[in-house]
Structure 1
Amino acid sequence: MQTPDTSAAGAASEAPKSAQLDPQFADFALSPALLAGVAELNFTQPTPVQQLVLAPALEGQDVAGQAPTGSGKTAAYGLAVLQQVDPTSATVQALVLVPARELVLQVRDALQRLGKHLPNLRVAGYYGGHAMRDEVKGLQQMPHVVVATPGRLLDHLERRTIVPNRLKVLVLDEADKLLELGFQEEMATIISRLPQRRQTLLFSATMPDAVLALVRKHLTRPRVMNVGGANATTLPDTLVLRGHVLSASEQKPAALFHLLNQPTAGRALVFANTRDRVEELTRFLRGRGLAAEALHGKMLQPERDKSMLKLRNGSATVLVATDVAARGLDVNDLDTVVQFDPPHDTDTFQHRAGRTARAGATGTAHLLVTPPEQQKIQQWPTAKNVQWAGLRPPALPAAAPKAPRPSTVTLHVSAGKSEKISRGDLAGAFVSVGGLEREAVGRIEVFDHHSFVAVPEAQAQEVLARMQGAKVKGKKVKVALIR
């Protein structure tokens, strides 16, 4: 096995000749079905990471890629993986390992969308906290692509409910986070049970020595790519970084409330360092009229899913989270990030701030700090563009103000993919039975045994009454308001 020359990263970061000619997805050896999926997602031109990764990955080479958050790496490896899948073979042909349950769902859904036009393609996600019996039942129809956390995948390998003897591709996504969370032993065991003749694609936001050791051990003659070269850890130009220096940490709640009530705040993500702080801030914001939800590792998976869902579909305007959300949050149009507690290190700072201003969009990331916290953060190269200013937040009002309520609420529907129900089926039912105009039906998310539909708050009770006992694709469903 050849040891990768990390100096190649600088060379790989230079745009290839094709990049200078503004390559299109059609320039790569992608099937018509995948090109149709790309077009349907309105991907107009490959991002830099896609330009660099697609050609060698489609040729079967191992790839180790360093790419900043929001760079489009999921589509980069997703297209390469799906190009190799044979949907006529009922075998697991690709594994994607990710560090968090939220990322399992995000990557699974992204691959399903990319492969929408591949006949009979099956992509499944497995993670801890989800009922094993449901996963085993679903494996009666073997998926072609499995997205999983290491612990849950290892459970399936030991039970032999997943037998990867026909595996073609292994993807290690967010490799630095996989190592940071202590998955070294699980990954080593998993890899030891995979066919040696396979392709391995590894992606990481940072490339510390531990990740490079992983590359040397498990990848064969890899192409090592650092998108953006030495500046790969630079946050996007469309991101505005603002640092607010407070005289005392006791001023932070008032400062947070002040920032979230600005007209430009929009949809916001607030980071705190502990579960207790997340719960405390969520109660604080709700008590002052903001539609806030919590997200941390101690919550049960259905509660975590609900919090993220409400932020995505507009039923909540603020999500308060620990760093469990820093890499796995599937919300592409966040307007604001607030780091209420200071990040522990430069990587955490970058990943938090990078949750907004993704894929060319604009966004603002705020830091609430005391002078000692500011002094530490100013030493980090990733924070060099922070605009620092003192802040004396206005006093909190004695009574909860009448903050604008979200325009939508979320309804739970007691049927999903297991009943062969699609987004289109639900949209049609909410129009024909629920009485909504087509454009009034909000975001729809379909899971295995249930679904969520966002509807205008002003019409929610009427829609709820109309939909009780309604049939969707011939199945009688129950509909309930998610609070």
Structure 2
Amino acid sequence: MSDAAHTPAPAAAPAPDFTALGLNEPLLRALQELRYEQPTAIQAQVVPLVLAGQDIAGQAPTGSGKTAAYGLPLLQQLDTAQDAVQALVLVPARELALQVRDELKRLGKFLPNLRVAAFYGGHSFQEETRSLKQAPHVVVATPGRLFDHLDRRTIVPNKLQLLVIDETDKLLELKFQEALANIVQRLPRRRQTLLFSATMPEKVLELVRKNLTRPRHVQAEGQAEALPESLTLLGHVGTAEKKPAALFHILQKPETGRTLVFCNTRQRCEELARFLTSRGLTAEALHGKLPQPERDKALLKLRNGSALALVATDVAARGIDVTDLDTVVQFEVPEKADTFQHRAGRTARAGAAGTAHILATPAEQALVQRWAVAKDIKWTPLQAPALPPAAKTPKPTTVTLHVSAGRKEKVSAHDLVGALVNVAGLEREAIGRIEVFDHYSYITVPREAGRAVQDSMAGARIKGKKVRVTEVR
């Protein structure tokens, strides 16, 4: 089924708009509603090739618009009247699975009866199985969980037309080679396969050779080695002992804003989050060993502003749904240039301004300076002023409240707003971000109102269910 021949795709100038790519009216209407005006370079190349039936090996860095590049033609080729899984998207992490699922739903908003599902480890297998009584048209999944479904025949891919392997370099880094091989063996041989990776090391190229047929190799011109022009790169050089105080100093600056801090290990991630919290900063840790509810909570608190910083490992941060990040800080220097690029590229997306800091010892600086992608870093001595008393540290102006009811109890965001206005007496404009999960919800309210809301809602009922409201700490 595979063919080692590589046919390079000709360089293509971005199309003037999406109508030139051969997309149908429902997709164009969704793009217009989402205010996607012009395709990115990778979208302009990939969409027509996929619609023409080509297998694709795409090199696509963070922020290149890759999900829409494969998602748009994937959606166009679905028969939503057919009750069968027709497309699979494999991703390395739960957060990315949810992000891709939501993006596909947005792009396919006007396709009748479209069903897109996300399956991943840490989620109830029985609940996923129950949801499969009516087959989704598209399954977005992590390899381990998808293999479980295939092995137990809760997913039968006999009608599959399209396989997407996304973030392939990260999948291989996480040792998913065997799971990928087992999955591919169970899929129809007559299918279209799209593979995307930020980098193309030999292991990824070997996967291309084994699983793609006459693939078109696509790389968005000028994107592989460049970071956004709106990104400011700042390097700070000093001893390792000065790094914690220097990070604290950076986070204190008003212009720093919403911040993602990268560490290389889970242990360092937890240590650093504890250090920042002990100094009065609201910081959350995020890593692969964190239970799913704790991961949801950490991400929510960064999104809604009730945490100033999220301290994360690379695995946990890949694909997380946090937009409008103001700042990225690489507390520890990664081993590879592409990891540096992925981290820095989490901010300054879609033309927005952003700042990426890296804290380095002199030896680490020497490593970073060998990377072409880091050539624009402005290096300065690492400043580590004395740590101020925690009492002087500003706290976020909002708090996050946990409500003990969610989708499964038929509770919606509208219901929660109504309860806060009618029962707790909050002004509608004072209510911040609301996120509803299966059996619980999170609400953002002003810090000064947090205690009063909890007291007012004690014993209150939403949709006939008595709920408990507590502050997320």
Give distance in 2, aligned partners of 1:220 and 1:187: 17
Structure 1 residues 474 and 37 mapped into 2: Cα distance closer, same or farther (>3 Å)?
Answer: farther
The partner residue of 1:33 within 26, 29, 50 is 26
For the Cα contact (< 8 Å) 2:262–2:311, is it kept in 1? yes
Q: Does 1:86 align with 2:79?
A: yes
Structure 1 residues 358 and 136 mapped into 2: Cα distance closer, same or farther (>3 Å)?
Answer: same
Secondary structure of 2:88's match?
strand
Q: Does 1:440 align with 2:425?
A: no
Give distance in 1, aligned partners of 2:153 and 2:387: 57
Secondary structure of 2:392's match?
coil
Q: Does 1:237 align with 2:229?
A: yes
1:174 is displaced (CA, Å) by 0.3
For the Cα contact (< 8 Å) 1:326–1:355, is it kept in 2? no
Structure 1 residues 451 and 41 mapped into 2: Cα distance closer, same or farther (>3 Å)?
Answer: farther
Give distance in 2, aligned partners of 1:87 and 1:450: 31
Give distance in 2, aligned partners of 1:290 and 1:443: 21
Structure 1 residues 100 and 383 mapped into 2: Cα distance closer, same or farther (>3 Å)?
Answer: same
String of CA shifts for 1:15-70, please: whole Å, max 9, x gaps.
1xxx3xx5222333334332333233222222222111111122332222111101
1:219 is displaced (CA, Å) by 1.4
The partner residue of 1:289 within 275, 280, 284 is 280
Secondary structure of 1:480's match?
strand
TM-score, length of structure 2 as denominator length: 0.94
Aligned match of 1:386: 377
Number of equivalences: 472
For 2:128, give the aligned amino acid: E
String of CA shifts for 1:446-471, please: whole Å, max 9, x gaps.
32333322222222233334445555
Give distance in 2, aligned partners of 1:466 and 1:117: 41
Give distance in 2, aligned partners of 1:433 and 1:51: 51
Give distance in 2, aligned partners of 1:327 and 1:289: 28
**Stretch of structure 1 that moved more, 107-116 or 63-72:** 107-116
For the Cα contact (< 8 Å) 1:295–1:321, is it kept in 2? yes
Give distance in 2, aligned partners of 1:438 and 1:358: 30
1:233 is displaced (CA, Å) by 2.6
For 1:178, give the aligned amino acid: L
String of CA shifts for 1:100-122, please: whole Å, max 9, x gaps.
12211211222222223333322
Secondary structure of 1:355's match?
coil
**Stretch of structure 1 that moved more, 414-423 or 450-459:** 414-423
For the Cα contact (< 8 Å) 1:71–1:358, is it kept in 2? no
For the Cα contact (< 8 Å) 1:4–1:224, is it kept in 2? no
Q: Does 1:356 align with 2:347?
A: yes
1:421 is displaced (CA, Å) by 4.4
TM-score, length of structure 1 as denominator length: 0.92
For the Cα contact (< 8 Å) 1:69–1:358, is it kept in 2? no
Secondary structure of 1:196's match?
coil
Secondary structure of 1:279's match?
helix
**Following superposition of structure 1 onto structure 2, how do residues 161-180 of structure 1 map, counting pairs within 5 Å?**
161-180=154-173
Q: Does 1:212 align with 2:202?
A: no
Give distance in 2, aligned partners of 1:349 and 1:216: 28
For 1:102, give the aligned amino acid: E
Q: Does 1:481 align with 2:460?
A: no
String of CA shifts for 1:288-343, please: whole Å, max 9, x gaps.
12110001122111111111111111111100111123422211211111111111
Uncovered stretches (5+) of structure 1, i.e. residues with no partner: none
Give distance in 2, aligned partners of 1:210 and 1:354: 24
For 1:307, give the aligned amino acid: A
Q: Does 1:254 align with 2:245?
A: yes
String of CA shifts for 1:55-88, please: whole Å, max 9, x gaps.
1122332222111101111122122222222333
1:387 is displaced (CA, Å) by 1.0
**Following superposition of structure 1 onto structure 2, how do residues 328-367 of structure 1 map, counting pairs within 5 Å?**
328-367=319-358
1:283 is displaced (CA, Å) by 1.2
The partner residue of 1:400 within 390, 395, 400 is 390
**Following superposition of structure 1 onto structure 2, how do residues 447-458 of structure 1 map, counting pairs within 5 Å?**
447-458=437-448
1:207 is displaced (CA, Å) by 1.1
For the Cα contact (< 8 Å) 1:272–1:322, is it kept in 2? yes
Structure 1 residues 313 and 342 mapped into 2: Cα distance closer, same or farther (>3 Å)?
Answer: same
Secondary structure of 1:215's match?
helix
Secondary structure of 2:255's match?
coil
Give distance in 2, aligned partners of 1:74 and 1:149: 16
Give distance in 2, aligned partners of 1:283 and 1:235: 31
Secondary structure of 1:299's match?
coil
For the Cα contact (< 8 Å) 1:94–1:144, is it kept in 2? yes
For the Cα contact (< 8 Å) 1:412–1:451, is it kept in 2? yes
Give distance in 2, aligned partners of 1:234 and 1:437: 46
Uncovered stretches (5+) of structure 2, i.e. residues with no partner: none
**Following superposition of structure 1 onto structure 2, how do residues 107-256 of structure 1 map, counting pairs within 5 Å?**
107-229=100-222, 231-246=223-238, 248-256=239-247
Give distance in 2, aligned partners of 1:128 and 1:361: 33
1:217 is displaced (CA, Å) by 1.6
String of CA shifts for 1:331-365, please: whole Å, max 9, x gaps.
12111111111111112111111111112211111
